Structure 1
Amino acid sequence: MSNPSVLGWPTFHHAKLTPRTAPLGTVAKPLPLIIDSDPGLDDALAIACAVVRPEINLLAVTSVGGNADVHHCTENALRLLHLYGADDVPVAEGAVGPLTGPLERATEVHGEGGLGNTKLPKAPRTVEPEGAVALMARLLEASPEPVAIAPVGPLTNIALLIRSYPHLSPKISHICLMGGSVGEGNSSASAEFNIYADPTAAEIVFNSGLPITMIGLDVTHHATLDRSILDRLKTLPGASAKTAAELLKFSFDRSAAWGQGEKMAIHDAVAVLHFAIPDLVGVARYHVVVDATQGPARGRTIGDANPYRLKRDKLEPNCDVGLTIDSQRFADIMVDIYSKLP
């Protein structure tokens, strides 16, 4: 009879943390950044990070259908920037749905309009008429230095940018995306929502040869806030903090109703903060491919960091993957962000 206390080999490779490859903005030299987003409860907090952090120069917010219909997402971006006192940041509307396959939405999580039950004042600024991909291309062309992109929704717009303007790839310094997982998914057991919503686009992005950091569920499920944050936000004077508390309460209530506890993972903010804070996220180098088939693993980001397999298959790592974060420090950073907003 075998000894049940003797364990066999682990069923997965424990990747070791490695130095980050993503660029860092500084107060002296802020990093030019475009956010491509589907606002979105956690997107609202991600945009706040980009507005406040002095290490980031937010050039634009572009919208994509995902958490809600793209028209709601566009309007949410305009209104959030207005709330945050950043009406000077242009907004352009992007793809309604994926390059191929069915339309996916996360309205059961974010509400039909994307921001729960919150109603924000209308913004004075209107959307840029040229559209998301053309605006990104124009900003890349005009920038005297390469521009970072933080896609925190489905990757449709980014794939279209890469495919339509290949000559501008050298003007993209880094793509730090929120999406994917080397472990379990959330839209399915295999796939995280942003990748699941457009696996074809994700495949184009990961095969592009551009420098990429994947901020997936492996790290964002540790970037959580709980109800204790509400009291901290409510003591802050600005309307932005009160709105953040309202958005978070909606999420906590919904999570509790589903029997999942009273926490919210602030997925998208991690991707933005990675460009501003050098040691917030611990990363490891992986070779990542996307399953864009129609099978049960559709949308899965298959990550391999096993040195033996990579050498055997003559593969090189193609991205950083976020693995670790200090949850308490992250919560403190989010409170600090909203303490600085109107």
Structure 2
Amino acid sequence: MTLRIILDCDPGHDDAVAILLAAGNPHVEIAAITTVGGNQTLEKVTRNALGIATLAGISAPIAAGCATPLVRDLVTSPEIHGESGLDGVTLPEPAMELDRRHAVDVMIDVVMSAEPGTITLVPTGPLTNIAMAMRKQPEIIGRVREVSLMGGGMNLGNATTAAEFNILVDPEAANLVFSAPWQVTMVGLDVTHEAQATPDVVDRFRELGTPIGNFVVDLMAFFIESNKLEQRFTAPPVHDPVALARVIDPSIVDTLNAKIVVETEGTYTTGMTLVERRPWINHVSTTHVATGLDVAKFWDLVIDSIGRL
């Protein structure tokens, strides 16, 4: 079965790996790539998306979306991703033009023109574009196959003690996405922290002997140092492709069916994803939480897919 996806992203080193995974995997068709302000400004992450698409030979439409969150000022992450959003590599000049439509409109057009249940949304940045598309065209909620997002966490944060970065940037948008009546899986820090680019993993990309394999090696060189400096990881967690990997092969990620809400008003807990885990509560919900990762299977999938490019 071919999986048709919209990859909504803010590239970002780990977003770049997710895009390359999508481009190289034979079971994935990229229906569109949409960008959102997050790891860096909208202008910078959109330029990065165009460069990665050129590198990978992606021909799907690429559209820029929301530059700022629904009600807050944008917070970026130059300490992790650099001033360009992809420091450490040189991207080619884009071989395609940016789609003139707003990303929200591209998302709506793709979902509404496809057969119901055939488009999967894979957001790997703040959820602003997804929330705006829901508001502008509520019918997409019933037509999307599922939403598999990188964000949140049950037990820890990274941007603050309580909150993961993507959710913290736009908690209001995240709360809208989690509360809508569609299938949503939150692939958060509880599992993505296990997806580390260890020296063995980096060597496997180097051994591909391809320009894109070497590009990933260069990506990881900067990412290793920024994560070591800022978050004390000896090997950086490559968060975003995990959300796509579970769509391609659900056996890679264990999940729990549970209600999720996002704190939007807490003095110290804004952006926290609260997962209902009390055993005496009815856990039937349209939201799911990633709880475990088959690390070996994950990296086999990513490296095999990127090796095909």
Q: TM-score range by the shorter chain?
A: over 0.9
Deviation for aligned residue 1:53: 1.5
The aligned counterpart of 2:295 is 327
8 Å contact kept, 2:262–2:272: yes
Return 5+ residue gaps in structure 1 as ranges.
Answer: 1-28
AA matched with 2:167: I
| C-alpha distance after superposition, 1:222-272 (max 9, x if no partner) | 111112223222222321111100000111122333471421111110111
The aligned counterpart of 2:62 is 91
Change (3 A) 1:38 1:259: closer
Equivalent position to 2:21, from 34, 45, 49: 49
1:336 and 2:304 correspond: yes
The aligned counterpart of 1:17 is none
8 Å contact kept, 1:92–1:128: yes
Instruction: Find the aligned partners of 1:185 and 1:333 in 2 and give their Cα distance.
Output: 27
1:317 and 2:289 correspond: no
The aligned counterpart of 2:89 is 118
Change (3 A) 1:259 1:71: closer
AA matched with 1:91: I
SS at match of 2:186: strand
Equivalent position to 1:204, from 176, 185, 191: 176
TM-score by length of 1: 0.87
Instruction: Find the aligned partners of 1:283 and 1:203 in 2 and give their Cα distance.
Output: 19
SS at match of 1:82: helix
Count of residue pairs the alignment pairs up: 308
Deviation for aligned residue 1:276: 0.8
Change (3 A) 1:121 1:284: same
SS at match of 1:176: strand
Instruction: Find the aligned partners of 1:227 and 1:256 in 2 and give their Cα distance.
Output: 14
Instruction: Find the aligned partners of 2:180 and 2:192 in 1 and give their Cα distance.
Output: 24
Instruction: Find the aligned partners of 2:233 and 2:121 in 1 and give their Cα distance.
Output: 33
8 Å contact kept, 1:305–1:317: no
AA matched with 2:239: H
Q: Percent identity?
A: 32
Instruction: Find the aligned partners of 2:230 and 2:127 in 1 and give their Cα distance.
Output: 28
Change (3 A) 1:216 1:281: same
SS at match of 2:216: helix
The aligned counterpart of 2:200 is 228
The aligned counterpart of 1:251 is 223
Deviation for aligned residue 1:199: 0.4
8 Å contact kept, 2:245–2:298: no
Any residues of structure 2 matched to 1:292-303 within 5 Å, and which?
Answer: 292-303=264-275
Instruction: Find the aligned partners of 1:323 and 1:262 in 2 and give their Cα distance.
Output: 23
- 192-201 vs 260-269, which deviates more? 260-269
- The structure 1 segments of at least 4 consecutive aligned residues displaced by more than 6 Å after TM superposition are none
Instruction: Find the aligned partners of 2:75 and 2:83 in 1 and give their Cα distance.
Output: 13
AA matched with 1:340: R
AA matched with 1:100: V
Any residues of structure 2 matched to 1:111-260 within 5 Å, and which?
Answer: 111-146=82-117, 147-258=119-230, 260=232
Deviation for aligned residue 1:156: 0.2
Deviation for aligned residue 1:329: 2.5
The aligned counterpart of 1:23 is none
| C-alpha distance after superposition, 1:49-69 (max 9, x if no partner) | 111112221101000010111
8 Å contact kept, 1:152–1:271: yes
The aligned counterpart of 1:277 is 249
SS at match of 1:322: strand
AA matched with 2:307: S
| C-alpha distance after superposition, 1:268-297 (max 9, x if no partner) | 101111111131001111111110115211
Instruction: Find the aligned partners of 1:163 and 1:170 in 2 and give their Cα distance.
Output: 13
| C-alpha distance after superposition, 1:158-214 (max 9, x if no partner) | 000001101222221111110011111100011000000000101111111111000
The aligned counterpart of 1:105 is 76
8 Å contact kept, 2:128–2:173: yes
| C-alpha distance after superposition, 1:34-83 (max 9, x if no partner) | 01000000000111111111222110100001011111111111110111
SS at match of 1:307: coil
8 Å contact kept, 1:226–1:252: no
Instruction: Find the aligned partners of 2:257 and 2:182 in 1 and give their Cα distance.
Output: 14
